[in-house]
Structure 1
């Protein structure tokens, strides 16, 4: 297996990992994010903790996509490639903040559960505050910043002709759409249900590029050094 083929497969696995970890994490967070009385309820903390662990794995996969592809895409435009890496780091940092807010709720529930003051207005306010932090980080990180990152990477892959044009167009269109949708939500134009529908193209983009990289690898690029049979090619980086 060539170095480029291995890079594509690893990057594809990381992309699939972002979906495999992020969606179940949100479902596992439901007692905190949607029930509204997590801090005073006799809930199982293991479910929420598992969601937090999955989000930590999500952070690894988000950073992994950038680190793995950077040596390949930087040959097209070093500044944009570096911007993609920084964008993914920013996205991962925002995700961590959201995960910390949910895990903080677990700690508070363990400390306050069963006490006389646990049903007070202050506790309810704290819980709503933690949920609000997570909701805002979810909008800003895996939506607004994610859209920009998708556009950057799709453009670099398009320039290098490393994956089919249809996939890169989907990435640029889907990334633009989800960022615009997140901006609309920021100003209260519509709610989460509409945003979820408008985010579907960027989800399809990530799954499509992941499957292509795993199954087919990266197409030969005009900027790639020629491989002479029987000789070791020059390093791509």
Structure 2
């Protein structure tokens, strides 16, 4: 296997891992994110911890996409390649902050929630931590996904390393995802609506399509690869 094929394969697999980890994480975290009294009752602690671990895997796999593709993307634009790595690192840090806030609620429930003298403000603290996680979701998987696409889609489009439709999907999805993030942030729209889903769909299609293409096909012939 050539070096460039291995780079594409590793980058594609890392992209697919972000999907395989992030989707079940949302369902696993629902006992905390959708139930305000979780911290007071008998919670599904193991399920929530597993969801947190899935989100951690998502964060690390996101960084892996940038690092795996760097040997090729730096041939297109060293600034763009470094920007992509940096944006993925920022996204991972934001996601991990959300994971820590959720897992803190689990610890609070275990230490204080089941006791007869549970602090009166425990639910308020729990709600605040859930709010932290919701904001990290807006600035992590939403805003940073658009910034990631602005770096990588531009480089792949310039070098013709993948079919043009893939980076074009990314270009379409960038303003739509930022618009959705702003609408949710200013309470114009709820995150769990059909409209919000449709606005996020192009970026999701870009990332999933890119992951599948790189895994199954690899990079297209390009002068960039010849120079490498």
Q: Contact (CA 8 Å) 1:25, 1:52: kept in 2 or not?
A: yes
2-side partners of 1:111 and 1:205: how far apart?
Answer: 43
2-side partners of 1:48 and 1:64: how far apart?
Answer: 24
1-side partners of 2:171 and 2:50: how far apart?
Answer: 33
Gaps of 5+ in 1: 227-235
Find the residue that maps to 2:224 and give its secondary structure. Answer: coil
Indicate the residue corresponding to 2:102 in structure 1.
102
Task: Choose 40-49 or 194-203, whichever is displaced more.
Answer: 194-203
Deviation at 1:119, TM superposition (A): 6.8
Task: Choose 61-70 or 190-199, whichever is displaced more.
Answer: 190-199
After superposition, residues 7-26 of structure 1 pair within 5 angstroms as: 7-26=7-26
Question: Normalized against structure 2, the TM-score is what?
Answer: 0.95
Q: Contact (CA 8 Å) 1:148, 1:176: kept in 2 or not?
A: no
Indicate the residue corresponding to 2:196 in structure 1.
195
Q: Deviations over 1:138-182 (max 9, x none)?
A: 000100111111121111100110000011100121123212221
The answer to whether 1:206 aligns with 2:210 is no
Q: Contact (CA 8 Å) 1:73, 1:160: kept in 2 or not?
A: no
Q: Contact (CA 8 Å) 1:144, 1:183: kept in 2 or not?
A: no
2-side partners of 1:223 and 1:22: how far apart?
Answer: 32
Question: Normalized against structure 1, the TM-score is what?
Answer: 0.92
Which has a greater percent of helix?
2
Indicate the residue corresponding to 2:114 in structure 1.
114
Indicate the residue corresponding to 1:224 in structure 2.
225
Deviation at 1:59, TM superposition (A): 1.5
Q: Contact (CA 8 Å) 2:7, 2:71: kept in 1 or not?
A: no
Q: C-alpha root-mean-square deviation of aligned residues, in Å? A: 1.3
2-side partners of 1:71 and 1:176: how far apart?
Answer: 28
Q: Return the index of the structure with the highest Cα Rg.
A: 1
Gaps of 5+ in 2: none
Q: Deviations over 1:57-109 (max 9, x none)?
A: 11210000000111111111211221111000000000000000000001000
Indicate the residue corresponding to 1:90 in structure 2.
90
Deviation at 1:36, TM superposition (A): 1.3
Indicate the residue corresponding to 1:136 in structure 2.
135
2-side partners of 1:85 and 1:176: how far apart?
Answer: 21
Q: Deviations over 1:35-54 (max 9, x none)?
A: 11111111221000101111
Find the residue that maps to 1:38 and give its secondary structure. Answer: coil
2-side partners of 1:19 and 1:36: how far apart?
Answer: 27
Q: How many residues align?
A: 226
Q: Contact (CA 8 Å) 1:178, 1:202: kept in 2 or not?
A: yes
Indicate the residue corresponding to 2:60 in structure 1.
60
Structure 1 runs, 4 residues or longer, greater than 6 Å off: none
After superposition, residues 142-157 of structure 1 pair within 5 angstroms as: 142-157=141-156
